């Protein structure tokens, strides 16, 4: 049930108080689940190291020349459980090239659905393929992602799941649609990334320049 405006305001105020501390910015840890197709090589080790490097991109201020520039965003992408498996050998559902496959795989519950190729994304086809594909906005984060992409692509798709649109105002923005070896997260991006959307839990504190408000 959709909450009333007054109830929502109470929840927002409570969440904001939780994530703003006198010592620094409250870390928000998002618990990331993943499933891979049977024929798509992707291990727990690869998932864990990718999320570790994705978190480093979020938390590191690279002092970019972009305007607005980079901030240290107090968000951690943490692996949750083991990478599960869907599909079977040779069923070709590791290649998302039809709307039927797209919709079927998107309906799987783990957040990241790891496949070999994505040629259809939200009704758009591309012979060159997509690195990732998300539904934005959604009540829950959900993304298709290729098994061999860099950590910034994972952050990009996570951002869409948090309600952040593409931002092409600087080539280095992680939310740039190119999403190719990008590393800049602006204060506005970070505020979206810190939206309290399950599953998450609270970690320690960060002393960087991450915006203190987690609700939007």
pLDDT tens sequence across 190-213:
999 999 998 999 999 987 544 443
Among candidate residues 44, 84, 76, the one with its CA nearest the CA of residue 59 = 76
What's the pLDDT band for 21 if we cut at 50, 70, 90? very low
Is the pLDDT at 12 greater than 50, yes or no? no
Is the pLDDT at 16 greater than 50, yes or no? no
Q: Which of 17-26, 108-117, 132-141, 177-186 has the lowest mean pLDDT?
A: 17-26
Predicted model pTM:
0.84
Amino acid 211: pLDDT: 47
Tens-place pLDDT, residues 43-61: 999 999 999 999 999 999 9
What's the pLDDT band for 143 if we cut at 50, 70, 90? very high
Please spell the DSSP secondary structure of the chain, one letter per residue.
-PPPHHHHHHHHHHHHHHHB-SSSEEEEEEEE-EEEETTS---HHHHHHHHHHHHHHHH-----SSSS------EEEEE-S--EEES-TT--TTEE-SHHHHHHHHTSSSSEEEESEE-EETTEE-TT--SEEE-SS-SS--EEEETT--HHHHHHHHHHHTTPPP--SSTTBTTSTT-SS--B--HHHHHHHTS--SSEEEEEEE-SS--S----
Q: What domains lie within the chain, and their CATH numbers?
A: 26-205 (3.40.390)
């Amino acid at each position: 049930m959709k909450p009333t405006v007054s109830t929502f305001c109470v929840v927002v105020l409570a969440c904001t108080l939780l994530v703003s501390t006198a010592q620094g910015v409250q870390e928000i840890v998002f618990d990331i689940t993943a499933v891979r197709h049977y024929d798509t090589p992707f291990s727990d080790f690869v998932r864990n190291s990718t999320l570790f490097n994705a978190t480093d991109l979020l938390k590191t201020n690279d002092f970019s020349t972009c305007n607005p520039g980079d901030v240290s965003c107090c968000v951690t992408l943490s692996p949750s459980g083991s990478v599960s498996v869907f599909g079977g050998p040779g069923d070709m559902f590791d290649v998302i090239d039809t709307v039927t496959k797209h919709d079927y795989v998107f309906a799987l519950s783990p957040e990241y659905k790891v496949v070999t190729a994505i040629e259809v994304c939200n009704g758009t086809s591309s012979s060159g393929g997509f690195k990732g594909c998300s539904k934005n906005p959604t009540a829950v984060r959900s993304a298709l992602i290729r098994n061999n992409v860099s950590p910034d692509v994972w952050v990009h798709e996570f951002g869409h799941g948090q309600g952040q649109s593409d931002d092409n105002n600087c080539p280095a923005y992680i939310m740039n649609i190119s999403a190719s070896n990008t590393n800049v997260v602006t204060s506005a991006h970070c505020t979206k990334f810190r939206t309290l959307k399950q599953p998450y839990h609270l970690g320690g504190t960060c002393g960087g320049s991450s915006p203190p408000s987690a609700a939007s």
